[in-house]
Amino acid sequence: MIVENSTVVARGLAVRRAGRWLLRPATFGVRAGVVGLAGPAKTGKSTLLATLATLRRPHSGSLEILGFDIGDNTSLRSIRARIGFLPEHFSWAANLTVGQFVAYAAYYKCVPGDRVRAVLERMELADTTSMELSLLPPDVRLRVGLAATCVHGPDLVLLDEPLAGLDERATAEITALLPTLAPTVLVTAEDSAALGRCDQLFTVTRGRLVETSRAPDAACAGGRDRV
Amino acid sequence: MSDLGRVLRADARRTALVFAVPILALAGVATAWQATLAGLPGVAYWDNTVVALASAVRLLGPCAAALAAWVAVREHRLDYLRGLTPRSPAIGPLLDLMLLTGVALAAYGVVALVTVCDTLLREGAGRPHPLGIVAGAAALAPHVVLGYLCGRIAPFPMVVLPVAGAAGLWTALRGGGWWSLLPPAAIRPVELFTGLRTRVLADQTLWALGLAATLTLAYVWTLTRRRTLAVPLAVAVAVTAISTVRLEASGGSAVVPAPIDHVCREWPLTVCVHPALRPALPALDAAMTPLAARLAGTPGAFSRVEQRPVGEPARIWRGVAYIRVPDLSPGFEWRAVRELRASLIDAQSCAEPHRRHGAAYRGLVDAWLLDERAPEMFDAETARRFGSWSERERRLWLRLNYADYRRCTLVRQSFGG
């Protein structure tokens, strides 16, 4: 369903890869809040997320993100300035420190160096600034990825399977962190139960995207205490 | 350190570019050294310094292309950070290309430094060719850009192998014709009395830079769709096309005859050689003097020895012996003397079957002229008699019988038998 002020508006959006429909033509809107996208493995969630991140072109249809049409090249740069995207197996440089990695992201996000310290403190990473990424446990490394993704204060954050492989405690901590990352956070998972309670939930199966109804007062665990 | 400096340093560390420089440099130096040895042994010639560097580029180029493809594949994984940027989407690839080109040029710089120092230490003849060194450096640029673009278009680790293979084939399969002048050029060692064509070097530089600029600008255009790129792109294409036409017009030859002033040694004989062979003067003088003394008073007498290009035959003409000395490999002076001695005879006459005996007597005289041991021959009595003569008697005899010696018409009676 498309509502006024939807962060993402897709009309007839279709995504194909290697001759296979990953998303058959679909019309949908992504509203503010924590939005879940659930579906079995290898059903195209990552490709759809990369498309919403403007890193892939849709096969057909139109796509508006944050009020800009991605078909317009001048708009594209404006959209990209306000998006944060973290792929499932995000690449990090094993020999870079946490501070260096987030500063690297800050350069490309065009934000000053003092924002690096601020986002590291926000992600409770201040003590690990000088540690090499390869030495960190997975949940802390994920926090570093989130810091790099959100160093510029994006309006839309797209996270691909961020909770995969985390233990229960780390999952709870990260889930509580999600609503604070941006006004709209789109998170994927194989199982919708892993996402906790979301403001909006989509499921994708066999190339079809379906918006699943939730309780009207549903909110992701951790509430909407956005910073 | 600026933000950009920090980013470049992080990229260099992530992609292990610091380790690439010494490895590439080592491979390049080894190739250049091999090319130097294969060129003109023992001769330091500035033109062949450029040839050695061109040979190094023929290895460095494919290596740099493979490295660039690998870095592109690695950096592709960071597109989620570098692609979603308010900066130009081309900034990441351009920084990568800047780093990779820097690495390739640093390695090439080491190779050039070693090769130039070697030529300087050996007091190389000819004149240095800064443009030749620049042409070698420029030839690396299209390799880096092409390798990088292949890695961007097909971001799989396996792409490194086909990239290296394709670059290697491009280098290896252009054996001759004007194709071989396209960078990285396949230039044969430059013989003495010839030199590299400055125009060809300039065209090679323009071709390489034009192609690298064309590819880079075209890729940036696909990322940014900026119309302002059309003009520099058109200029780059035009430069590449014009330099291609000019290289084709060169006819595939990278060298031209280069007149030079000989360097001479005046005593006991006047021996003049190419400046690159200055160290050869004492040995040549020592080897030529006995022959000159023995031929004195005959039509083959000479008092001056002059080195000629390799393509010209050795001969004696109006008191001047023209010799060929292609390099200074061991025994060069004796090869020159033998060639000169061989030029004394009338090959057509000596080849006739009925002059078989005359040729055998001639061999007896040849051995004396060259200070060699007399050969076994059918007429042992004549050989013994000739061997018993004094040096003065032999010289007098040669003055009288030179025409028969030359035409292989010597008989037993020529020796007083």
Residue A140 belongs to a domain: yes
Residue A36 lies in a domain: yes
**What CATH number is attached to the domain comprising A169?**
3.40.50.300
CB atoms A104 and B4 under 8 Å: no
Q: What is the pLDDT of residue A2?
A: 63
Q: Are the C-beta atoms of B399 and B365 separated by less than 8 Å?
A: no
A78 assigned to some structural domain: no
Q: Is B102 exposed, middle or buried (CB count within 10 Å of its CB: 0-12, 13-18, 19+)? A: middle
Mean pLDDT of A74-101: 85
| Chain segment B235-256, per-residue pLDDT in tens | 999 999 999 999 999 887 888 8
- Å between B156 CA and nearest CA of chain A: 15
Number of structural domains found in chain A: 1
- The pLDDT of residue B87 is 86
Contact between residue B61 and residue B167 where contact means Cβ atoms under 8 Å apart: yes
Q: What is the pLDDT of residues B359-390, one digit of tens each?
A: 888 888 889 988 888 778 778 888 888 888 88
Interface test with A, best of B81, B91, B94 (most A CBs within 10 A): B81
- Measured between beta carbons, the chain A residues lying within 8 angstroms of B7 are 104, 107-108
CB within 8 Å of B61: residues ≥ 6 apart = B139, B140, B143, B167, B171, B183, B184
**Quick one: tokens of B140?**
């690396």
Model confidence at B1, pLDDT cuts 50, 70, 90, reads low
Structural domain range at position A161: 31-55+83-212
Which residues of chain A lie closer than 8 angstroms to B78, CB-CB?
91
Q: In degrees rounded to 5, what are phi and psi of residue B389?
A: -70, 155
Please give the Cα distance from B342 to A50 (Å, whole number): 80
Q: Does residue A217 form part of some domain? A: no
**A116 domain-assigned:** yes
Q: What is the pLDDT of residues B306-354, one digit of tens each?
A: 998 888 888 888 889 999 888 888 888 999 999 998 888 888 888 887 7
A13 located within any domain: no
What are A185's strand-pairing partners?
A34, A157
Chain B contact for A148 (CB, 8 A cutoff): yes
pLDDT category at A3 given cuts 50, 70, 90 is low
A218 closest CA partner among A5, A3, A35: A35
CB contacts, 8 Å: B6 with chain A: 100, 103-104, 107
Query: Cβ–Cβ contacts within 10 Å for residue B264, how many?
Result: 15
Provide, as residue numbers in chain B, all residues whose Cβ is less than 8 Å from the Cβ of A108: 7, 81-82, 84-85, 87, 91-92
- Which string of DSSP letters, residue by residue, matches B78-121? THHHHTS-SS-TTHHHHHHHHHHHHHHHHHHHHHHHHHHHHHHH
B44 vs A82, more confident: A82
Q: Which residue on chain B is closest to A55 by alpha carbon?
A: B83
- Is the four-CA dihedral A225, A227, B6, B8 of positive or negative sign? positive
Q: In this complex, do A110 and B87 lie within 8 Å of one another by their Cβ atoms?
A: yes
Asked whether residue A11 is assigned to any structural domain, the reply reads no
Kindly provide the ipTM of the predicted complex, given to two decimals. 0.82
Q: Does the pLDDT of residue A225 top 70, yes or no?
A: no
Residue B265 and residue B281 in contact, taking contact as beta carbons nearer than 8 Å: yes
Predicted pLDDT at A214: 54
From the list B342, B398, B407, the residue with the least C-alpha distance to B415 is: B398
Domain contains A196: yes
Taking a contact as any Cβ pair under 8 Å apart, which residues of chain A between 56 and 95 contact chain B? 73, 77-78, 80-81, 83-87, 90-91, 93, 95
Question: What kind and span of H or E run contains B365?
Answer: helix B356-369
